[in-house]
Amino acid sequence: MTIFLAKRLFALVITLLVASLVIFLLLEILPGDPASIILGVGAQEDTLAALRTEMGLDLSAPERYFRWIRGIMSGDFGRSYTYDTPVSELILERLSLSLPLALLAITLSTFLAIPLGVFAAANHKRIADTGIMGFAQLGVAIPNFWFAILLILFFSVKLGWYSAGGFAGWEMGLTAALKSLTLPAIALALPQAAILARVTRSAVLETVREDFVRTARAKGLSRNAALWRHAVRNALIPVVTILGLQLSFLLAGTIIIENVFYLPGLGRLLFQAIAQRDLVVVKNIVILLAATVVTVNFLVDMFYVALDPRLRGASAWMNQDLVNFGKTVCVTAVLWSGWFWVWLCYLPVCFPCSGHLFLWNC
């Protein structure tokens, strides 16, 4: 077990280093001078040079990279160009909303999807199975932002049960805060629940055909007892994999939902930092999201071993999973940094007012 844990921790550190290098390189080659953006195009050259020195932009790329890594390791994420506030304070402030929102969404998704998936598998090729999979297919097809708008129109505009947007704040009490997060959490949970229900159904159907389930039935266990005691437990490995990926996605993918509901979360902070070209904030949020993906995958691996101790000695499985680690995090870094590239280079050309938070404010 110790060797297994050491290898997983080593994979975690190496993957984070590779992800940080990819993020840094992609953001370094972006056009534009942050000093010119802050001071404006009419600033004097000596003033620009002084600001570049203060921001560390006069250093070489390797020096800036190692300075950034040292800062992260010491807890210093730098200072935001736009807010003139430590980035760590900005992230912690926004994470106090995004993390509960993601946990609430994943809780709703799990408690809805797993029982539905097991029930669909237990009633394979029956009306219940067809109905549940039909709704799951519908949930996968509906964009969460469109579903969020429908929730606002029905529960906020028509019924008046919830506010159309904004966050009450934790200081107003737990009930008021959770009420503000209810509709966003439902909008985030529906597509994830649909995916998880389909995966759960497929995993349970595959497991019930195994010999050990037939043996349990032959020994006298009832159909439901064999299903829940043996089949569901052994079908949890792919379900846990999807849950880990969904938690990472919910932390990283709430930008649109937070903007629809006007929530001051981490996704909206990233959106604003992209619009304002605040590279320090963008860089640190992206590495935080990459670290979240790696950490969640590490915890999923530990849960794998708890479910199936045979995996502790599976060296081939560990080597392949190390590759999957790298792929997941590098793809995450490339997608987020690539989206920033597109926003920076093309949207100002197509939409001159794209610096605003919402295009319809122009």
Cα-based angle 339, 267, 248 (whole degrees, multiple of 5): 85
What is the per-residue pLDDT for 313?
A: 54
Residue 342 has pLDDT above 60, yes or no: no
Cα-based angle 110, 111, 117 (whole degrees, multiple of 5): 75
What confidence tier does 260 reach under pLDDT thresholds 50, 70, 90? confident
What is the per-residue pLDDT for 318?
A: 44
Task: Enter the tokens of residue 5.
Answer: 């844990």
Average pLDDT over residues 63-89: 83
Residue 191 has pLDDT above 80, yes or no: yes
Residue 340 has pLDDT above 80, yes or no: no
What is the per-residue pLDDT for 275?
A: 74
CA 335 vs CA 58, 131, 133: distances in Å: 28, 35, 30
What is the per-residue pLDDT for 312?
A: 56
Residue 8 has pLDDT above 80, yes or no: no
Given the structure tokens 């993020």, which residue do they identify?
Answer: 23
Q: Where are the alpha helices (DSSP H) in 208-235?
A: 211-218, 223-226, 232-234
Residue 224 C-beta-side C-alpha neighbours within 13 Å: 2
**Residue of 247, 248, 211, 242 lying closest to 226 (CA atoms):** 211
What confidence tier does 347 reach under pLDDT thresholds 50, 70, 90? very low
Residue 352 has pLDDT above 50, yes or no: no
Higher model confidence: residue 28 or residue 11?
11
Task: Enter the tokens of residue 347.
Answer: 């949207």
Average pLDDT over the chain reads 75
Higher model confidence: residue 202 or residue 217?
202
Residues in the chain, overall count: 362
C-alpha 278/C-alpha 232 separation (Å) is: 47
What is the per-residue pLDDT for 31?
A: 62
What is the per-residue pLDDT for 38?
A: 67
Q: Which of 76-80, 125-129, 189-193, 224-228 has the lowest mean pLDDT?
A: 224-228
What is the per-residue pLDDT for 159?
A: 86
User: What are phi and psi for residue 79, nearest 5 degrees?
Assistant: -125, 135
What is the per-residue pLDDT for 355?
A: 40
Residue 320 has pLDDT above 60, yes or no: no
Q: What domains, with CATH codes, occur in the chain? A: 2-361 (1.10.3720.10)
Average pLDDT over residues 167-181: 83
What confidence tier does 259 reach under pLDDT thresholds 50, 70, 90? confident
What is the per-residue pLDDT for 252?
A: 65
Q: 224-244 in b/e burial notation, b at 16+ Cβ within 10 A?
A: eebbeebbbebbbbebbbbbb
DSSP secondary structure string, 94-121? HHHHHHHHHHHHHHHHHHHHHHHHHHHH
What is the per-residue pLDDT for 37?
A: 65
pLDDT tens per residue across span 130-148 = 888 888 888 888 888 888 8
Q: 156-194 in b/e burial notation, b at 16+ Cβ within 10 A?
A: beeeeebbebebeeeeeeeeebeebbebbbbbbbbbbbb
Average pLDDT over residues 203-207: 83
C-alpha 273/C-alpha 83 separation (Å) is: 10
Residue 346 has pLDDT above 50, yes or no: no
What confidence tier does 308 reach under pLDDT thresholds 50, 70, 90? low
Average pLDDT over residues 83-99: 86
What is the per-residue pLDDT for 59?
A: 75
